[in-house]
Amino acid sequence: MMTTLTSNRTKNRWEDFWNDVDNSYGAPNKKILDIAQEYYQQQSSNNNLTTVDIASGNGRYAIEIAKIGYVVDAIEYADTGVERIRNNAHNQWVVLSVSQWDFTQLCDEERQYDLVLSSWLLEEIDMSHHADVIRWYQRRTKPGGLTIIKYCLEISGRWQLVEDDFVHTFYENDDREIINYREKKEMKPSNATIDFDDTYDAMIRTGTVIAKKIR
């Protein structure tokens, strides 16, 4: 069974974006990496903890999480993004698995991970499908595992893309342990290194939900 989602920006847009080597969304969030590190240490009896980084971009999270010790699958929509991830991992002597996959096609595959990471994907999917995406994350997370979702509630030039408190409430009502939750109330400058046109993507309002799957 396959669920087809509606993407807010085309694949060609992302091919052009990652083809420009100067484009980046900045360094990975330190809080997310700290929680990934802490969880890894807590599960020290398991030397094969797995992570999937969905819509990995240039691999900024996938590479750092692999350095912690996780076995990492990086999934990216654009072929140019896949190439960037492979090159960046090679240059840093990091081993991970990289694949090109269309995230607008959610299939009911069975594989689960100890850590499911999604950074800057939810806002790229039409709001009518956000519940489908989050349920897919839940199914991919092992019992006792973590799901980390970082998203843009609003982006300049694109307005509101994720409903306030939607992600948090979804997990809260689904009997998950919320490890961390924050949604910013005001627009702030993006940390991305991009040549913005008419402030497009230059100002953002972000949210983060980190939840542990109880069972």
203 band by pLDDT with thresholds 50, 70 and 90: confident
Q: Give the integer Cα–Cα distance in Å for 116 and 104.
A: 17
Please check the confidence at residue 194 and state whether its pLDDT lies above 90: no
Q: What is the pLDDT of residue 190?
A: 83
Q: What is the pLDDT of residue 110?
A: 73
Instruction: Find the helix or strand (DSSP H, E) in which 80 lies.
Output: helix 79-91
Helices (H) and strands (E) counted in the chain, each on its own, are 6, 11
Kindly provide the residue ranges of all beta strands, DSSP E only, lying in the chain, ordered along the sequence.
Answer: 2-4, 50-54, 71-76, 97-100, 105-107, 113-119, 141-155, 159-160, 177-183, 188-189, 203-212
Average pLDDT over residues 12-32: 84
Q: What is the pLDDT of residue 12?
A: 80
Please check the confidence at residue 32 and state whether its pLDDT lies above 50: yes
**pLDDT tens, position by position, 74-126:** 999 889 999 999 999 999 999 999 988 877 676 666 789 999 999 999 998 88
Q: What is the pLDDT of residue 16?
A: 82
Q: Which CATH architecture has domain 2-212?
A: 3-Layer(aba) Sandwich (3.40)
Residue 9 DSSP label: S
Q: Give the integer Cα–Cα distance in Å for 186 and 188.
A: 6
Please check the confidence at residue 67 and state whether its pLDDT lies above 70: yes
**Cα–Cα–Cα angle for 161, 167, 170, rounded to 5 degrees:** 135
Average pLDDT, the chain: 87
Q: What is the pLDDT of residue 13?
A: 80
Average pLDDT over residues 30-48: 88
Q: What is the pLDDT of residue 2?
A: 47
Q: Give the integer Cα–Cα distance in Å for 174 and 182.
A: 18
More confidently predicted of 193 and 20? 20
Whether 122 and 150 have beta carbons less than 8 Å apart is answered as no
Q: Give the integer Cα–Cα distance in Å for 118 and 115.
A: 10
Q: What is the pLDDT of residue 106?
A: 65
Kindly provide the residue ranges of all beta strands, DSSP E only, lying in 5-70, ordered along the sequence.
Answer: 50-54
Average pLDDT over residues 14-32: 85
Q: What is the pLDDT of residue 3?
A: 55
**Sign of the CA dihedral 36, 48, 177, 164?**
positive
Place of tokens 């100890």: 114
| Six-digit token string for 107 | 């299939």
Q: β-strand 159-160 against 141-155: which pairing, if any?
A: antiparallel
3-state secondary structure at position 174: coil
Tell me the whole-structure pTM to 2 decimals. 0.91
19 band by pLDDT with thresholds 50, 70 and 90: confident
